[in-house]
Amino acid sequence: MFTGIVESMGQITDLKSEGRNKIITISSQLTPELKVDQSISHNGVCLTVERIELQNNQYQITAIEETLKKTTLDDWVVGDHVNLERSVTLEQRLDGHLVQGHVDGTTVCTDIKDRDGSMFFTFRLSEEHQHLVIPQGSVTLDGISLTIAELSLVEFSVAIIPYTFEHTNAQTWQTGKAVNVEFDVFGKYLERYRELYKSKVSV
């Protein structure tokens, strides 16, 4: 479980294919604090640390075929920067919102505006996900916990303050770029309950 508060940015230093999977090496200042089997959010995707190279300040993860299909990971190239967050502990304050690291898919940026210093990003909203968002609700984009500022049937917008913009890969977002999206888990539980209730009523 994560909070959507990015701790650091890592940089991809190596990519290798192994069957239908992809082996990814990342350089990060967090590396000395990591351990094998630890769960780390990479642009919102929960992946397991498999190998640590302290001498190079690098660690290795594997993305399986299903993850590559559902996220932006298959588009990553050497040199890309990714948002990193270690899993939350019970001693931490929940400054963002509850994030599972289970990405629902990708969404494309359709518009960017600078509004008095804060960056205002607009993204597509697919019909299958329209019921999972509300005005001022939470959404996770590339692992960043954000609040929905504006909402329509086909789009939603978020505002990013200068600090977040400077310390995450939001600074690389452009119109037409796809990012990983995870919708609020509470909305998904409510939708599941509604589906089951409807099926029982109709029996």
Residue 96 is assigned to a structural domain of this protein: no
pTM of the predicted model, to two decimals?
0.93
How far apart (Å, rounded) are the C-alpha atoms in residues 158 and 144?
11
Q: Do residue 58 and residue 115 come from a single domain?
A: no
Domain that holds residue 75: 8-86
State residue 84's pLDDT score: 98
Both tokens of 128, joined, read: 């299958």
Q: What is the pLDDT of residues 166-188, one digit of tens each?
A: 999 999 999 999 999 999 998 88
Q: Taking residues 137-166, what's their average pLDDT?
A: 96
Both tokens of 157, joined, read: 């917008």
Q: Do residue 44 and residue 113 come from a single domain?
A: no
> For the domain that residue 117 is a member of, what is the CATH number?
2.40.30.20
Q: Do residue 115 and residue 58 come from a single domain?
A: no
Residue 194 is assigned to a structural domain of this protein: no
State residue 202's pLDDT score: 64
- In the chain the first and final C-alpha atoms are separated, in Å, by 36
How far apart (Å, rounded) are the C-alpha atoms in residues 158 and 36?
35
